[in-house]
């Protein structure tokens, strides 16, 4: 999916750490716990649900599996997993790691299914719960189907996280974290910073430095150790974000940096910064899943918070300030 080699190594190490964590703490987490009750002795105990169906995305193709598998392998559940179609090699490799480690056959099974086939599995009475990380469209389809079957479901969907810059922010730290938050994983992170809300007193200080730092990113082969920004995951993903940029500018947004495809081989997009986004612009409340930063000026801290909250998404957010 185009992840840079350094980020790939980091993701593998994180995934291993997650699995190790649940292995190390299993006895503690699963031990019965006393429960205070005025009606007599009681305790809380933990039992597996049974067969779980998980549908996972391509942007963190090992981490997404590890964070699902760790707790459920620990608690004795059986897992059916439909990975994203763009990363079948990762699905196969992850399953092999579990088999090589001695996980019994059938405890974790890759399913190379269509969306319709995966949806049909929700109707199967043997499947007890569903976990999805993906788009809002997929969430609507699967949550409604899970609801019809009265089955537990967890949905982690889109995000358009705010990063608020207040008037006493440390600019060196702020710019570095803003670039990392937006352009890490080639801009394809659910909880990556996407909306940069900057109080007006800081705008002329933050914005030129942020644009200059984004401009310095080196676009290229993600296997090249010196590259700092890789491609999008697919040509389809690139075409979608180009349409979003075009739609935003046709409704009055201004391009401060980038906005164009680079070359004809690979799904490369210039690091892009947009401003002038008014509430009537479709892009105002969209998620840009790629290297595109949206800049929103705010009069003061109160307006910055109001802009941050004016979103249909609630996945995450952050602020950069330097108060004691």
Task: Report pLDDT digits (tens) over 262-306.
Answer: 999 999 999 999 999 999 999 999 999 999 999 999 999 999 999
CATH topology of domain 5-156: Aldehyde Dehydrogenase; Chain A, domain 1 (3.40.605)
Judged against a pLDDT cut of 50, whether residue 324 lies above it is answered with no
Burial of 53 (0-12, 13-18, 19+ CB in 10 A): buried
Q: Determine contact, residues 295/274, Cβ cutoff 8 Å.
A: yes
Residues 268 and 262 sit within 8 Å (Cβ to Cβ):
yes
pLDDT band per the 50, 70, 90 thresholds, residue 119: confident
**What integer pLDDT is reported at residue 319 of this predicted model?**
59
Tell me how crowded residue 39 is: count the other CB atoms within 10 A of its CB: 5
Mean pLDDT for the stretch of residues 173-190: 96
pLDDT band (50, 70, 90) for residue 320? low
Q: What SS3 state is found at 35?
A: coil
Residues of the chain with CATH 3.40.309.10: 161-320
Give DSSP secondary structure letters for 186-230: GG--TTSEEEEEEEHHHHHHHHHHHHHHHHT--BS-TTSTT-SB-
Looking at every residue in the chain, the average pLDDT score rounds to 94
Residue intervals of the chain classified under CATH 3.40.605.10 are 5-156
Work out the average pLDDT over 253-268. 96
Question: Which tokens sit at 46?
Answer: 């933990």
Q: Which residues contact 143 (CB under 8 A, 6 or more apart)?
A: 132, 153, 155
- Cβ–Cβ < 8 Å for 281, 245: no
CATH of segment(s) 161-320: 3.40.309.10
316 pLDDT more than 90: no
pLDDT tens for residues 193-244? 999 999 999 999 999 999 999 999 999 999 999 999 999 999 999 999 999 9
pLDDT in tens, 23-49: 999 999 999 999 999 999 999 999 999
Instruction: Evaluate whether 183 touches 161 at the Cβ level (below 8 Å).
Output: no
Name the residues annotated as catalytic: 156, 190
């Amino acid at each position: 999916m185009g992840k840079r080699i350094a980020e790939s190594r980091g993701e593998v190490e994180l995934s291993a750490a997650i699995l190790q964590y649940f292995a190390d703490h299993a006895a503690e987490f699963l031990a019965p716990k006393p429960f205070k009750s005025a009606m007599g002795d009681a305790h809380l105990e933990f039992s597996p649900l049974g067969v779980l169906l998980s549908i996972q995305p391509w942007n963190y193709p090992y981490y997404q599996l590890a964070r699902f598998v760790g707790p459920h392998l620990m608690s004795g559940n059986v897992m059916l997993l439909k990975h994203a179609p763009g990363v079948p090699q990762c699905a196969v490799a992850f399953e092999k790691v579990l088999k090589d480690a001695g996980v019994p056959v059938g405890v974790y099974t890759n399913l190379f299914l269509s969306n319709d086939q995966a949806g049909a599995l929700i109707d199967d009475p043997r499947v007890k719960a569903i976990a999805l990380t993906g788009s809002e469209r997929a969430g609507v389809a699967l949550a409604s189907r899970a609801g019809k079957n009265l089955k537990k479901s967890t949905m982690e969907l889109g995000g358009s996280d705010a990063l608020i810059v207040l008037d006493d922010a440390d600019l060196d730290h702020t710019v570095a974290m803003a670039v990392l938050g937006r352009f890490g994983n080639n801009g394809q992170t659910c909880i990556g910073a996407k909306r940069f809300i900057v109080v007006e007193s800081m705008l002329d200080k933050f914005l030129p430095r942020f644009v200059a730092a984004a401009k310095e990113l080196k676009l290229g082969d993600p296997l090249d150790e010196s590259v700092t920004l890789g491609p999008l995951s697919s040509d389809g993903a690139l075409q979608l974000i180009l349409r979003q940029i075009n739609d935003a500018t046709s409704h009055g947004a201004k391009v401060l940096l980038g906005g164009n495809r680079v070359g004809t081989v690979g799904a490369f997009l210039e690091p892009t910064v947009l401003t002038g986004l008014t509430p009537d612009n479709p892009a105002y409340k969209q998620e840009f899943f790629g290297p595109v930063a949206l800049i929103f000026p705010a009069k003061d801290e109160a307006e910055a918070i109001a802009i941050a909250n004016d979103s249909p998404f609630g996945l995450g957010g952050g602020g950069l300030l330097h108060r004691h």
